[in-house]
Amino acid sequence: MNVRKTLYFTYARLRGHLIVKAVESVGKEWPLATAAETAGRSLRAMLSHAQKNVPYYRDYLAGLNLDKMAVEDLLRVLGRLPVMTKDIIRRDFERLKSNDLSSRQWYYNTSGGSTGEPIRLVQDREYNTHGIALAWLAYRCMGYEYGDRKVWIWGSERDILQGSMGLRAKVGRWLENCRTLNAFRMTPEDMRRFLETMDERPARLIIAYAQALYELAQFAEAESIRVRPQSAATASAGTLYPYMRETIQRVFQCPVYNFYGSREVGLVATELPGREGLWVPPGAQYVEIVSDKGDPSGPGQVGSILVTCLYNYAMPLIRYRIGDRGAFAWVRGGQQVLENVFGREVDAFRRSDGTLIDGEYFTHLVYFRPWVQKFQFVQTSNESVVLSVVLGPGCARPPQSELNSVSEGVRKVLGPAARIEFSWVEEIPPCASGKYRYTICKC
Beta strand pairing call for 150-154 and 106-110: unpaired
Return the CATH number of 348-441, one of 3.30.300.30, 3.40.50.920, 1.20.1280.50, 3.30.420.40: 3.30.300.30
3-state secondary structure 8-48: HHHHHHHHCCCHHHHHHHHHHHCCHHHHHHHHHHHHHHHHH
- Spatial contact of 286 and 294, defined as CB atoms under 8 Å apart: no
Q: Residue 216's CB: how many other CB atoms inside 10 A?
A: 27
The DSSP line for 100-163 is TGGGS-EEEEE---TTS---EEEEEHHHHHHHHHHHHHHHHHTT--TTS-EEEEES--HHHHHT
Q: What percent of the chain is helix, strand and coil (3-state, nearest 5)?
A: 40, 25, 35
- Spatial contact of 345 and 408, defined as CB atoms under 8 Å apart: no
Cα(285)–Cα(130) distance, integer angstroms: 12
Question: Helix or strand or coil: residue 372?
Answer: strand
| Domain residue spans of the chain | 3-130+262-345, 143-254, 348-441
Cα(295)–Cα(33) distance, integer angstroms: 29
Q: Residue 307's CB: how many other CB atoms inside 10 A?
A: 25
Rg (CA), the chain: 23
Topology agreement, domain 3-130+262-345 and domain 143-254 = yes
Q: Residue 65's CB: how many other CB atoms inside 10 A?
A: 8
Superfamily name and number for 3-130+262-345: ANL, N-terminal domain (3.40.50.12780)
Q: What is the CATH T-level fold of the domain 143-254, as seen in this structure?
A: Rossmann fold (3.40.50)
Side-chain half-sphere exposure of 145, counting CA atoms within 13 A: 7
- Spatial contact of 289 and 337, defined as CB atoms under 8 Å apart: no
Cα(211)–Cα(217) distance, integer angstroms: 10
Q: Which CA distances in Å does 378 have to 58, 149, 368? A: 42, 40, 20
Q: Residue 72's CB: how many other CB atoms inside 10 A?
A: 8
What are the pLDDT tens digits along the chain (443 aa)? Answer: 566 666 666 666 665 566 666 666 666 666 555 666 777 888 999 999 999 999 999 989 998 999 888 888 999 999 999 999 988 998 999 999 999 999 998 988 877 555 445 678 999 988 988 888 888 888 988 998 877 888 888 764 443 444 445 555 565 666 667 777 777 667 788 888 889 988 998 989 999 888 788 888 988 998 999 999 999 999 987 788 888 899 999 999 999 999 999 889 989 999 999 888 999 988 889 999 998 888 888 898 989 999 999 999 999 999 999 888 899 998 877 789 999 887 765 577 888 877 667 676 787 788 778 898 888 999 999 889 999 999 988 888 999 999 999 999 999 888 899 999 999 999 888 665 556 778 888 87
Cα dihedral 201→204→209→210 (10° resolution): 110
- In 169-265, DSSP assigns E strands to 178-182, 205-209, 233-236, 256-262
- What lies within 8 Å, CB to CB, of 169 at 6+ separation is 159
Q: Which of left, alpha, beta for 274 (phi over 0: left; psi -120 to 50: alpha)?
A: left
Residue type, 229: P
Cα(322)–Cα(118) distance, integer angstroms: 12
* Digit-coded pLDDT (tens) for 24-34: 666 666 655 56
Q: To 5 degrees, how large is the angle CA 183–CA 304–CA 441?
A: 60
Closest CA to 306 of 123, 72, 120, 75: 75
Cα dihedral 95→112→108→305 (10° resolution): 40
Instruction: Give the DSSP letter of residue 228.
Output: P
* Digit-coded pLDDT (tens) for 377-421: 999 998 899 999 999 888 889 999 999 999 999 998 888 999 999
- Spatial contact of 417 and 325, defined as CB atoms under 8 Å apart: no
- What lies within 8 Å, CB to CB, of 113 at 6+ separation is 119, 432, 433
Q: State the pTM of this model.
A: 0.76
DSSP H or E segment with residue 246? helix 242-252
